[in-house]
Structure 1
Amino acid sequence: MKRLLLLALCLTSSAVLAGERRHVLLETPVTYAAGANVVEQVKDECHIDDMLTHHVGDALRRLNRSDSGTIDANSAPGDAEVLKLQITYVMGVGGGAWTGPKAISLSADLIDNGKVVRHTKFKRWSVGGMWGAFKGTCSILDRTSLIISKDLSRWVHNPRYEIKDEDVPPPASATNAANAATAAPAAASSDTTAEDGGKKED
C-alpha cells in the first residue's frame, strides 16, 4: 500500500512539474543593435531579421507545443518568458559562397517579468564549399539562421546549456555536414506545411 501511495505521489509531482514548464516567446520584431556592422545591401535584400523571426519562432512553437512562438514587443507576455534578440554583426556580401564565409552574431536575453535572467552572445558561421557553391548569400544566411534557432531552442529549454561562440569559421567539411543535416528537416517541414497547414513536431 505504501509503495502504491509513493508511486502515486511521484507521478503527481512529475505531472505538476511538467505542467509548470513555462512558454518562451520570441519578441518581435527582431532588431539590429546600435552600430551593428552589416552591409546595407545584404540587410535590405536578405531580411535577416525576418529569417530569425521565422526560424526561431518555429523552434519555440515546437518547444512550447503550442501555436504561440512569438509576441509583439508592445504586448504583455502574461506568465511566459520572453526571448529578445539583437543582431550585432553580419559577415556577408553578394556573390554567395564565392565571396567567402558568412556569419551572423547575436545578443540574446531571456526575460522573466521584465528582468533579464540569462544572457548570451554568440556567432554562427556558414562556409560555402561544394554544398553551398551555388547558394546565394541570402540562402546561406537563411541556413545559418536555422542553425541559430536550434541553438536558442536548447538554450532557453536547458539553463545549463551554453552556446559555444564560433570565433573562426569551422572547416568547410564540417559545415557542409551540418548544412546537409538541417536541410532534410527543413524540407520535411515545408512539405508538412503544404499538406496540413502546420509544422510537424521534432
Structure 2
Amino acid sequence: MKPALCILLGLLATGCGLTGGSQSSAPTRQETNQEASDKAVVATATAGATKQSQPQMPTEPVKAKAAAAHAGDIVILFDVPFANENHIADNVVEECSDIGKQFSASVIKYAHSNNLKISSAATLPESGKVVQLSIDNVYSAGNAFIGHRKSATVSARYLVDGKEVAHTEKTRNSGGGFFGGFKGSCSVLAHTVNTLGSDVAKWLKQQTQ
C-alpha cells in the first residue's frame, strides 16, 4: 500500500510540476509579445519623428533655378500696363483688370510658336534683351445685344542692354469673333489683345533674325 501511495503522490507531484512549468512559460511568451509590441511602437514613433524633422523644401532656390534657366531669354512684363489710365475708360480699367496679363501671355504663347526664347517677370532687368510693352488705347463700345465694337492699340520697344533696337505700334479691331453675341466686353477685349500678342511676336521674330 505504501509503495503504491508513494507512486501516486509522485505522479501528482509530477503533474503539479508540469502545470507549474506551463504557468511559468506563459508569462515568458507574454513578455516576448509585449517586447515585440513595444519595439513596433518605438519604431513607429521614431519613423514619425524622423519624417516630422525633415525640413520643408524652400521655394526660393526653386525660383532661383527657374530664373537661371531663363537666362538669355527676351524678358517682358508679366502684367503689361496701360500707357496712361486717364486715356482708358473707367469701366475697362476696373472691370477688365486682367487685360495686361492676357496680352503678356499671348505674346509669350506666340513667341514660343516662333521659336523665340521669352519669359515674363514682375520687373524688367536693366540689361539683356527686353521688350517694353504698353497698352496705349482701348476702345469699347456696343455689347452682346447690339454687337461689339472693340479695339486696342499697343506699343513695343525692343531693347538690348538698355539700347533701343526697334519700336512698333499695333492696332486691332474686333466684333467678338465667333459667338460674339454671347460674349461680354472684357471677353472680346481679351480676344483683341490675344491677336495683338501674335502681331508683336511676329514683329519680334523679325527683329531677332
TM-score norm. by structure 2 comes to 0.56
Cα offset, 1:51, TM superposition: 1.4
2:80 alignment partner in structure 1: 30
Structure 2 Cα separation of the partners of residues 97 and 24 of structure 1 = 41
Corresponding residue of 1:13: none
| Distance in 2 (alpha carbons) for counterparts of 1:113 and 1:30 | 20
Matching residue's letter, 1:86: S
SS at match of 2:105: helix
The 1:116–1:65 alpha-carbon spacing in structure 2 relative to 1, beyond 3 Å, is closer
- Does 2:99 align with 1:51? no
> Which string of whole-angstrom CA distances, capped at 9 and with x for unpartnered residues, describes residues 33-77 of structure 1?
1365221112221121121122223333444566x5213325455
How far apart, CA to CA, are the structure 2 residues paired with 1:53 and 1:71?
Answer: 10
Q: Quote the Cα distance in structure 2 between the aligned partners of 1:63 and 1:25.
A: 15
Contact 1:106–1:122 under 8 Å retained in 2: yes
Contact 1:24 1:156 in 2 (8 A): no
Quote the residue 1:42 is aligned against: 92
Give 1:106's match in structure 2, choosing from 127, 136, 154. Answer: 154
Number of aligned residue pairs: 137
Change (3 A) 1:106 1:65: closer
1:115 corresponds to which letter in structure 2? Answer: K
Mapped contact 1:100–1:128 kept (Cα < 8 A)? yes
Partner of 2:50: none
For the aligned residues, what is the CA RMSD?
A: 2.8
Structure 1 contact 96–136 (Cα < 8 Å) conserved: yes
- Within 5 A, what are the aligned runs for 1:91-130? 91-93=139-141, 95-96=143-144, 98=146, 100-128=148-176
Deviation, 1:157, is 0.6
Match of 2:66 in 1: none
Cα distance in 1 for partners of 2:131, 2:145 equals 31
1:107 deviates by 1.4
Where does the alignment leave 5 or more consecutive residues of structure 2 unmatched?
1-71
Query: CA 1:96 to 1:112, structure 2 compared with 1: closer, same or farther past 3 Å?
Result: farther
The structure whose residues are more often helix, as a share, is: 2
Q: Conserved in 1, the CA contact under 8 Å of 2:139 and 2:150?
A: yes
Note the C-alpha offset of 1:82: 1.2
Matched with 2:111 is 60
- Per the alignment, residue 192 of structure 2 pairs with 144
**TM-score, with normalisation over the residues of structure 1?**
0.58
- Change beyond 3 A, Cα 1:75–1:129: closer
User: What SS is found at the alignment partner of 1:29?
Assistant: coil
Deviation at 1:88, TM superposition (A): 1.0
Q: Secondary structure at the match of 1:133?
A: helix
Distance in 2 of aligned mates of 1:151 and 1:130: 20
Relative to 1, partners in 2 of residues 1:32 and 1:65: Cα closer, same or farther, differing over 3 Å? closer
Larger radius of gyration: 2
